[in-house]
Amino acid sequence: PATDASDPGGGLGDAGAVCAVLDPEGLTTRRLPVEVSLAPGPSRGQTLVDRRLRVGESELHDGMREQPLVDVALDVDVTRYVNLYLGTVERTGA
């Protein structure tokens, strides 16, 4: 894994998700409306996150939000999670 936050060459993959569960303080999150595209075509299966600050059409007309609000990670402390991962692997000898 990359140890320099400016190096886009590495990643922790699933281990990064485990690090986020063990140490959520390493994430910057925001509650945002999220949905999964089920429409046919190239976007099928993609997760759509609406980061606009204004309310959507559904809220304007009937007062109900169509998409659930989900805590979305917008930033991660890369060094923190790399150190957590490496420290755990080295300690356990995995």
32-88 pLDDT, tens digit per residue, is 989 899 999 999 999 988 887 776 666 666 666 677 889 999 999 999 999 999 999
How do the domains of the chain map onto residue ranges? Answer: 14-92
pLDDT at 68: 82
Asked whether 13 and 81 are in contact (CB, 8 A), the reply is no
- pLDDT category at 94 given cuts 50, 70, 90 is low
In the chain, how many H helices and how many E strands? 3, 3
- pLDDT category at 3 given cuts 50, 70, 90 is low
pLDDT at 80: 95
Please report the DSSP string for 23-59 in residue order.
Answer: -GGGEEEEEEEEEE--SSSTTTT-EEE---SS--HHH
